[in-house]
Amino acid sequence: MNINITLVAQILAFAVLVWLVSKYLWTPLSALMEARRQKIADGLSASERGKHELKLAQERSAELLRETKEKANDIIAQANARSNQILEDARVNAKAEAERIVAQASAEIDREVNRAKDALRSQVSAIAVVGAERILKREVTNKDHEAALADLIAHI
């Protein structure tokens, strides 16, 4: 009977130990392990969210950089077009100014040529009068001179 009492005592001691361990040790340990598991799961999900947000941020950054480069290229293209337009306007203005200057110079040359022709006519008529006067050996009056000049000018 010794074996039975010892066995019952050991079974009772074991049952008490199991009850004590489950009540005071297993429950807190399982709660701690569950909290630790939850903390690790939260950390992993936060890591995944962080990776996803990082990927989105990189995509947004790349898109923003692409848009910025496009805007910069557009601005550069507009500036080049504007500079070409300014150069073309300056070229047109310079050509118009050159044509105006040439026209003024041409008009001035025409005036000078006409003055020279008038002066030459006057000189030729004076020479002609002097020559005619010598031929005729007489002096021509102012009235005759003016009439001869007018006739010569009309003839020329």
pLDDT in tens, 7-24: 888 999 999 998 888 888
| Token representation of residue 69 | 């480069």
> What is the mean pLDDT of the segment spanning 12-37?
89
Q: What pLDDT, on the 0 to 100 scale, is given for residue 92?
A: 92
| Token representation of residue 81 | 């077009």
> What is the mean pLDDT of the segment spanning 27-42?
90
DSSP state of 156: -
pLDDT bucket at 140, cuts 50 / 70 / 90? low
Q: What pLDDT, on the 0 to 100 scale, is given for residue 65?
A: 94
pLDDT bucket at 135, cuts 50 / 70 / 90? low
> What is the mean pLDDT of the segment spanning 102-127?
86
For 40-84, write each residue's pLDDT tens digit.
999 999 999 999 999 999 999 999 999 999 999 999 999 999 999
Q: What pLDDT, on the 0 to 100 scale, is given for residue 4?
A: 84
| Euclidean distance between CA atoms 133 and 141, whole angstroms | 10
Cα→Cα distances 139→66, 100, 130, 143, 146, Å: 100, 51, 9, 12, 13
**Greater pLDDT, 131 or 107:** 107
Residue 55: strand, helix, or coil: helix
| Euclidean distance between CA atoms 65 and 85, whole angstroms | 30
Q: Which residue has the tokens 């890591």?
A: 47
Instruction: Determine if residue 141 is left, alpha or beta; phi over 0 gives left, psi from -120 to 50 gives alpha, anything else beta.
Output: beta
Helix axes 27-136, 142-155, angle to 10 degrees: 130
Please determine, for residue 153, whether its predicted confidence score (pLDDT) is greater than 60: yes
Residue 137: strand, helix, or coil: coil
Question: Is the entire prediction scored with pTM above 0.75?
Answer: no
Mean residue pLDDT across the chain: 86
